[in-house]
Each structure stands twice: as structure tokens, then as C-alpha cells.
A and B are shown apart, each in its own frame.
Chain A
Amino acid sequence: MLAAVGAVAIADVARAAAPGEAPPDDDDGGLVIEEAPPAAEATPVVALTGRLQVGAAVDLDVARDEGVVDAEARLDLLLTARPPGSALDGELAMGLRYGVLVPDGRGERGAVDVADARFGESFVRWRSPWALDVSLGLRALRWGAVTALRPLDVLTPVDLRRGAAPWLDEPPIAVPALSVQKVLGRVSLEVVWMPFFVLDDVFLARDDWRLAERGAVSVQPGVARALAGLSERELERDQSRVILTDRPSSGGFPGDVAARAVFHGDAVDVGLVLGTQWERVPRFEALPSRLRGYATHVARRELAGLELAWSVLGATLAADVLYASSATAYRADGSSRTTSDGLLHWTIEARVTPAIWLDVAVAVSERRLLDTPRDAFATPIEDEDLVIASADSWQLAARVGLMLAFDGAVRLDAALRAGLDRADWTLAVGVTARLGGGASLTGGVIVFEGPPDGLGLGSLYDGNDSAYLRATFTF
């Protein structure tokens, strides 16, 4: 995987000069001996960086009643403060987004748009001289050793409103947290307290939408697409939206508390995760007519997890296992069902970079409700157009990065995500060209396939194949 670094990094990374524009080389090949070190440059105390993305997606399924062009612009800003010599530092991140859906004229709908702003990781941190860090603010902690189908990514809610491509993980939602990190030799300890309950975000606006499981909903080409099933008149009735953002009403310790300990060996990292949390389900933004009911009960559960990363035979093998003491299925009629024996979710992943220009990762995952007969939730439920959480499932994820130019100026990424017991799959292929000066252009396609009555990702979005083009400018 090390080489992966190289490959990914190179591809991900930048080119300061466009091809053929070699900057002057100031190296004369001689030996200079100076009697003083290089003069220290002033390190900026505060720095503002950011990224602007502008893109559009179009339907590839021309047989649909109405096609759409889904355009979006997003600006991410990051303000960092690192006073030299100070034990205090901090970050402030914010994302601004504007999306518009333009129908192709075959239907009656007009254009609709959506805009929002959200803080990212924004915190103040104290780095004590005793190998103890304390941070307070909005954090998005991502634990675990695997990079796909992550079982231990349960502390941070995700924003599923803007699905993109399967290889992109769900964007995390930064939540208020107090974090304490301590290093003891080769062991890293972290304890986090998140006092407020924050749900995942998902737009639900189509009658035929169902959520099968966490992490499987992030593929819709855009927020605007999510709104495609609504009329302008309906969209104007914002006041009628149902937004399930209530905090859990039942008792218990306030908030989520979790701890992680990781031992870093020469070839192996082994970690243990323990915690207690409110079980998180998506927050719905939809119209009452389309969401016939909803559940307000949120169960509390305990977590225990193991993570492992092992460098062996030129590859990195990683595994995460999560046991949660309960898991709840919510249905559109307002009913819910909580398992008594809990949930087991594990993923094994292999990452390898056989050459600097090739990076491959493959992961297999199983998620199982322990007290539920297999497939009990995998069968579509009549008259219930919404099922959240947790059908049992086997999944496979594969990711390939291929550098098409020496310096990573052109890179191809492909990702496959398949439900092994659902006969559905999703494939995304994209090519990114680095244009220099922090600019890049990405184009690709996303394809969904699955049985019409399936609960897997490919089934849920079958018929929503799209092609996209996105320009990115980083500054």
C-alpha cells in the first residue's frame, strides 16, 4: 500500500507546472558550504485555504418520463490558526452549497434550487507537553482501519443528501465533541464525549425511495435529483416539511461516549473501541404526503469493536469488527423494531500497490442482525415505502486507481460496490485531469443495476444512471 501512497498521492496531487513548462532549475551541481542555517521564514499564524467545485450531471436513462440536468456549486473554506510557540491551535471549516435542477422540458416541472451552509471541523485544541491533547468543538472522528464499508465509523453522522460516487465516502457531519488524546509509548488512547444527538442527513422525496442500510444511500447524483419527484407547488410548501431532528426522549447518559486504544507495532496495528451511544438514523426532509409517519423513538446501545492493520507480503490487510447491542429498523408507517441481541458488522480489506501507477483495494463486509432470521428484512415490505436500517447483507467493494500519466496529470478511478446476496451492483468510473495551478477536471459515469424488488443499492437507484462533469479549483 505504500506504493499506493505514491500512486494516489501523485495522482491526487498537483502539478506546479503544466506539461512542457519546466520552471528554471537553480541547481548548479556544485558544493556550497554556508556558515549559517537557512534564514527562517515567518510562519503564517492564520491561513485561509479552500476549494471550489462546479459540476453537472445528466440522465443516461432516456426512457424516463422526464430527464434532468443537475448542477451544483460548492465552496469549502478552511481557516487554520497555528500560533508559533503556542500550545493552542484551531481550525474553522465551512461548506457553502448551491444546487439547481433543470428538467428537460418533457414534463411539467420547472427548475428548482437548493442552497445551504454547514460548518465542518471547527475546534480549539490544547497540545500539552505531556503527550496529552484536548480539543473542544465540532469534530468528525473516523475510527477503524478499513477504508471502505467501515463498521467502526459509527461515531460521526454522515450527510447523505448529496450522493456522488461510490468510491467517495459519505461526507461526515462535524458534531460538538470534547476529545482527549493521550500517547503512551506505542499506544494511542482517545476518549470522546459528544453530548448532543445528531442524525444522519438524507433527503427523501420520492415514493419509490427506500433506505436499506447505513452507508448505502450515498449515490444519488444530487440533491436536486432527490427533489425530482416533487412539483414546484410542493417545493414551495417548505413549512410543511417533516424534519425529524428531535433528540431522543428516553433517558440514559447524555450523549455519546466512546474510547479507542490502538497499539502500533512494527508490522501490525491493533485497536479496541468501546462506547455507548444513541443509535443514529437518518433525518428526513420530506413532505407529509410522502412520509406517512415517522418514528421518534431512538434506542440506546453499547458498542464494542476491534480493528487490525497488518503489513504483509507487500500488501496491507485491514479488518474492522463492530458489535452493537441493539439495532432498530424504522418503517414509514411509524413502527419500529429493535433487535434484542444486537448487530454484528465486520469488514476485511486488502490494499496493494503493485506498481506506482496502480492502486487496488478490495473489501468484503457482512452485516447481520443477530436475533433476526436471515433475509427477514431483505424482503420488500408491501405498502411500506421506507425501511431504514438494517437488512442483513453481504457486500463487496473494490477500488482501482490507475495513473495514466507519469506525474499523475491524468488519473482513472473505478469503484464497484455489490450486494453479494442481493444480486445488485453499482459501478462508477471517472477520469481526472490535473490542469495545473490547482485546477482539475473530472468526468465520469455512474451505473446502477439490480432486481426491481431488491433492497440493495443497485436496485434502489436502478434507472438513475448518470454522467457527470466537475471542475475543481483548489486555493
Chain B
Amino acid sequence: MNTAPRARSARAATLAPLLVLLALTAATGPSSAADDPPPEALAREALASAGLGFEAGEATLRMRIDDGRGHALERTLTTRTRIDGDARETRITFTEPADQRGVELLTLERGGGEPAQYLWLPALGKATRIAGSALGGKFQGSDFTFGDLARRDVPGRFVARPAETLGKERILRVDVLPAEGDGEAAFGRVELGISERTRALVRVAFHDRAGELVRELAVTRLSKVGDRYVPTRLVMSDRRAGSKTTLEVTRLDPDARFPATVFAPESLGR
């Protein structure tokens, strides 16, 4: 088994919104593959390595939204992220197309609670706080939700599944099931795929409580940044709507650092 180094200090400005969903406060389930690490540890490692949400630094991303009916939108955005202890602050600024330029979303995650989010629309001229319950709303019309762009605790049980092969890569699989007695979980099962060699999360599949696959996140490119691999292109598909959104990192500066004032809601639009 490859044990690629995964130094937490190597914080890359990557997007891994995916993982948002699972900020693991989970109970451990049984492992079915004796040679593989325990599923909870494996999942935790992959999620931590991928860096839930955007990590420190600056990145430029290209977003492509296909509505499944032949229409497509393309947008470009920059992310700036600052990590201070348990706090993670992410500021997303849309730069293209022109008539979307200047739209900003600020996400403040502090200590595991619901993240606070603020939106800046140039036409409005001021930042407005966003209601937490809207976290399930689609972000900029994409297949990502606002909640995908923030960390949230999702209690669950981790269950190992048989590994599979994707190209030359061996993919370890872990299912996350709702905690016992949790009748309000958003999904009935979340399936994780983890690259054995890189220990990076490469697939997240969301099944509803009836077992139907409703959303799927696939990492289609991993890039080595420092001493670990981070997702730099991923696709979120809405199986019911037939739409999908591709996010690709086109520029990455993991060493960029920003003062706290950049992440003040009052600074949006300035």
C-alpha cells in the first residue's frame, strides 16, 4: 500500500467543495477488506488531505454548467482563502463573463457551526447576509450547492466496500450511512472513492433514502501540490436533472496569503 505523505501544512488553494458534505463526526463501521485501512480513518484521511472546501491560498477556476439539454454556461472565478486555527474564510469573486463580474460570495466557517455566508451583488451595492437554510440552493446556477462550498458536519457510519480499478488506479471505497436513529439525514448513503496511491478522494456519490443515485461528484484530475495530491478538475452531476457542472483549477498559488480584512463582509465589493 502506498503511503504518500500528506502533510497538513501543505495547504493548497484547491477546491474540494465536494467534501464539504462530510466533515466527519462519525461512528466507525466494520471493515470488509482486511488489507485496507479502517474505513473511517481512510475517509478522514482523504477528506482531510483534500482539504474540505477551499484551502489557503489563491486559485482561478473555470466553471462550466451543462443543463443536459444542449445549453452550456461558462464562468470564471477566483478564490481567496485564509485559515486561522479552526476558522476557514473563503472569498469567491466572479470575473467572467462580463455581466457577472464582481459578484462575490464570502463564506466564514468557524468551529463547526453553520457557516455564515454573505453575498455581494454589484447592482445592490452592499453585502447581504444569506440565510442558512438556503445552503441547499444551487450556487450560481451550477450543480454545486452553497452548502457544498462550506464544511458541514454530517454524522454517519463508515462502511468499507470492495475496491475497484479506474484506469491504472486502485480505488478504495467507503460508504457513509446515516447514524443510527438519524431520520433526517439528507442522503441515505454517500459513497466515497479514494485513490489508493495518492490517498485523494476521487468520487462521491449521493444516494437518496430510497437508494437512488441523485448526485455524483467525480474528480477527473489530481495535481501534486507540495507533497500531496489535490483535485484540480471535478464534475458534479445531477442525475435527476441530467445536468452537470465542471470546475477546473486553471491557476493555483498555495502560498498566497491575505490579511483578515480581505475576509470581512464589509470588504466585499471593494
- Interface, chain A (partner B; CB < 8 A): 1-10, 12-17, 19-23, 25, 27-41, 43, 49, 125, 127-133, 142, 144-145, 147, 168-169, 172, 181-183, 186, 188, 190, 260, 262, 264-267, 269, 309, 311-316, 318, 351-353, 356, 406-408, 434, 437-438, 440, 472, 474-475
Contacts and interface: CB of A to CB of B under 8 A. Distances in A.
Nearest to B218: A29
Given A13-B100, A127-B259, A356-B137, A407 B67 contact: yes
Contacts of A21: 72
A379 B113 CA distance: 53
B256 to A, nearest CB: 9
A313 B133 contact: yes
Interface stretch (B26-34, B183-191, B260-268): B260-268
A37 B12 contact: yes
Contacts of A434: 99
Contacts of B206: none
Contacts of B246: 25, 27
Given A1-B128, A31-B222, A147-B128, A407 B71 contact: yes
A12 B121 contact: yes
Given A20-B71, A33-B198, A40-B251, A188 B134 contact: no
Nearest to B133: A314
A267 B114 CA distance: 8
B239 interface: no
A284 to B, nearest CB: 25
Contacts of A16: 72-75, 96-97
Given A13-B99, A351-B128, A22 B66 contact: yes
Contact of A12 (B100, B117, B169, B195): B100
B169 A33 contact: yes
6 contacts: A2-B134, A14-B100, A15-B73, A188-B265, A262-B265, A316-B129
A474 B101 contact: yes
Contacts of A22: 66, 70-72
Interface residues of B, number: 84
Given A40-B253, A269-B129, A353-B134, A181 B73 contact: no
Given A40-B252, A438-B98, A128 B259 contact: yes
A31 B219 contact: yes
Contacts of A19: 71
A1 B134 contact: yes
B83 interface: no
Contacts of B221: 31-34
B103 A2 contact: no
Contacts of A130: 259
A318 B124 CA distance: 15
B119 interface: yes
B113 A190 contact: no
Interface string B117-136: 10101011110111111110
Contacts of A37: 12, 223-225, 230, 232, 249, 252, 254
A66 B7 CA distance: 76
A36 B251 CA distance: 12
Given A17-B72, A41-B250, A172 B125 contact: yes
B184 to A, nearest CB: 16
Given A14-B99, A316-B130, A38 B223 contact: yes
Nearest to B12: A37
Nearest to B124: A147
A31 B169 contact: yes
Contacts of B114: 266-267
Contacts of A311: 116, 129-133
A156 B229 CA distance: 49
B70 to A, nearest CB: 5
B54 interface: no
B233 interface: yes
Contacts of B195: 31, 33
A114 to B, nearest CB: 24
B220 interface: yes
B25 interface: no
Nearest to B241: A406
Contacts of A316: 128-131
Contacts of A128: 259
Interface string B223-259: 1110001101101000000000010011111100001
A38 B119 contact: no
